[in-house]
């Protein structure tokens, strides 16, 4: 756009003249030297067209953004200025906080890719917080198959980065919950295959924070926080055969959210597995 600007106010002309002398690209003065010098800067005839590229747009899709971890991820991403969308079977979160109004809530089921393909439009990165417990076959499906579907659809759509919230090994517990762990590991393998450079796997142990159950807030930090203090300094206990993994320190949900958002948006965040100690370390860094 270019337009003519005529005026005679001296203060405005001085401002424009100053601006033009500082950066000739933005304004040009049409000084008419046949008139006296005092009118030289009184006329600004043309403002040049300046093409300023729009700021880079980053759009994050949080799979399971209405869940415990997912809602903290959405909130963290919004505070970092990202465009944030969520996808889950029930759609909009029941959370009434004002930040929830800034999330684009999609409804869809990861088992049927057609039901959520539209949610992938314009997405630059994904964080999957989809998982669950139940029978072994159910756990394999929701922790494995559902996420594998998501990883495949995302890579086909050209989404650049994908972060999967997985889980730490718990030794003997792994056998009892084998559908859960086999599903997690199958998703991890798919992620590392499809996203060798932009795939990050977070493996927290117990995640604490305030969890909403219906209309109630459950303060899991009451147990999680002191346990974290004790166990994060007792790394040696983890090496005890069979029961060692039970000493994995719990981690705060806000720490998981911070690291997940950073891993999803920072192109130099190292791909691969981040264990609970890595999550604690990254979350304490200033840029996390």
Ligand X SMILES: NC(=O)c1ccc[n+]([C@@H]2O[C@H](COP(=O)([O-])OP(=O)(O)OC[C@H]3O[C@@H](n4cnc5c(N)ncnc54)[C@H](OP(=O)(O)O)[C@@H]3O)[C@@H](O)[C@H]2O)c1
Binding string to ligand X for residues 49 to 68, with x set by CB under 6 A, is what? Answer: ---------------x-xxx
110 sits near ligand X (criterion: CB under 6 A): yes
Q: What is the C-alpha to C-alpha distance for residues 128 and 191, in angstroms, rounded to an integer?
A: 11
Among 16, 27, 44, 69, binds ligand X (CB under 6 A): 69
31, 43 Cβ separation under 8 angstroms? yes
- Please identify, using beta-carbon distances, which residue of 114 and 268 lies nearer to ligand X: 114
What residues contact 156, with CB distance under 8 A and at least 6 apart?
none
Among 17, 20, 29, 88, binds ligand X (CB under 6 A): 88
254 sits near ligand X (criterion: CB under 6 A): no
Q: What is the C-alpha to C-alpha distance for residues 41 and 7, in angstroms, rounded to an integer?
A: 10
181 sits near ligand X (criterion: CB under 6 A): no
Contact positions with ligand X (CB under 6 A) in 141-160: 142, 146
Place of tokens 């056998």: 175
Could you write out the DSSP letters of every residue in 6-56?
Answer: ----HHHHHHHHHHHHH-TTTEEE---TTS-GGGTTT-EEEEPP--PPPPP
Q: Is the dihedral of CA 280, 82, 87, 154 positive or negative?
A: negative
- Which residues sit opposite 231 in a β-bridge? none
- Please identify, using beta-carbon distances, which residue of 44 and 220 lies nearer to ligand X: 220
Place of tokens 């060798």: 196
- Please identify, using beta-carbon distances, which residue of 5 and 185 lies nearer to ligand X: 185
Among 132, 244, 271, 278, binds ligand X (CB under 6 A): 132
Which range binds ligand X by CB under 6 A, 105-113, 193-201, 225-233, 265-273? 105-113
128, 142 Cβ separation under 8 angstroms? no
Q: What is the C-alpha to C-alpha distance for residues 150 and 112, in angstroms, rounded to an integer?
A: 10
Q: In the bound complex, what is the minimum distance in angstroms from residue 132's beta carbon to ligand X?
A: 6
179 sits near ligand X (criterion: CB under 6 A): no
Query: H/E element holding 134?
Result: none
Among 43, 131, 248, 259, binds ligand X (CB under 6 A): 131
- Please identify, using beta-carbon distances, which residue of 40 and 281 lies nearer to ligand X: 281
Which range binds ligand X by CB under 6 A, 75-83, 203-211, 241-249, 277-285? 203-211
Among 144, 179, 199, 204, binds ligand X (CB under 6 A): 204
What residues contact 280, with CB distance under 8 A and at least 6 apart?
232, 249, 251, 255
- Please identify, using beta-carbon distances, which residue of 64 and 179 lies nearer to ligand X: 64
- Please identify, using beta-carbon distances, which residue of 47 and 211 lies nearer to ligand X: 211
Number of residues near ligand X (by CB under 6 A): 23
- Please identify, using beta-carbon distances, which residue of 42 and 70 lies nearer to ligand X: 70
265, 80 Cβ separation under 8 angstroms? yes
**Residues 137/140/141/147 CA torsion (nearest 10 deg):** 180
Q: In the bound complex, what is the minimum distance in angstroms from residue 206's beta carbon to ligand X?
A: 5
Residues that bind ligand X (CB under 6 A): 64, 66-70, 88-90, 109-111, 129-132, 142, 146, 165, 167, 204, 206-207
């Amino acid at each position: 756009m270019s337009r003519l600007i005529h005026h005679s106010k001296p203060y405005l002309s001085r401002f424009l003249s100053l601006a033009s002398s500082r950066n000739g690209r933005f304004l040009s003065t049409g000084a008419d030297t046949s008139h006296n010098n005092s009118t030289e800067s009184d006329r600004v005839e043309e403002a040049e067209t300046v093409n300023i590229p729009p700021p880079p747009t980053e759009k994050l899709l949080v799979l399971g953004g209405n869940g415990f971890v997912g809602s903290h991820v959405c909130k963290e991403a919004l505070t970092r200025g990202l465009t944030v969308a969520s996808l889950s079977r029930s759609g909009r979160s029941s959370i009434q906080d004002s930040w929830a109004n800034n999330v684009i809530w999609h409804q869809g089921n990861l088992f049927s890719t057609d039901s959520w393909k539209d949610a992938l439009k314009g997405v630059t990165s994904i964080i999957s917080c989809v998982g669950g417990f139940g029978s072994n076959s159910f756990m394999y499906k929701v922790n494995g198959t559902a996420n594998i579907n998501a990883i495949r659809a995302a890579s086909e759509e050209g989404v650049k980065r994908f972060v999967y919230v997985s889980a730490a090994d718990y030794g003997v517990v792994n056998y009892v919950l084998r559908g859960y762990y086999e599903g997690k590991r199958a998703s991890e393998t798919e992620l590392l295959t499809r996203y060798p450079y932009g795939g990050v796997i977070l493996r927290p142990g117990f995640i604490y924070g305030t969890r909403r159950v219906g209309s109630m807030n459950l303060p899991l930090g009451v147990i999680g926080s002191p346990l974290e203090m004790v166990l994060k300094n007792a790394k040696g206990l983890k090496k005890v055969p069979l029961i060692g993994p039970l000493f994995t320190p719990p981690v705060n949900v806000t720490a998981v959210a911070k690291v997940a958002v950073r891993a999803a948006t920072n192109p130099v965040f190292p791909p691969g597995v981040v264990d609970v100690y890595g999550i604690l370390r990254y979350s304490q860094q200033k840029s996390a």
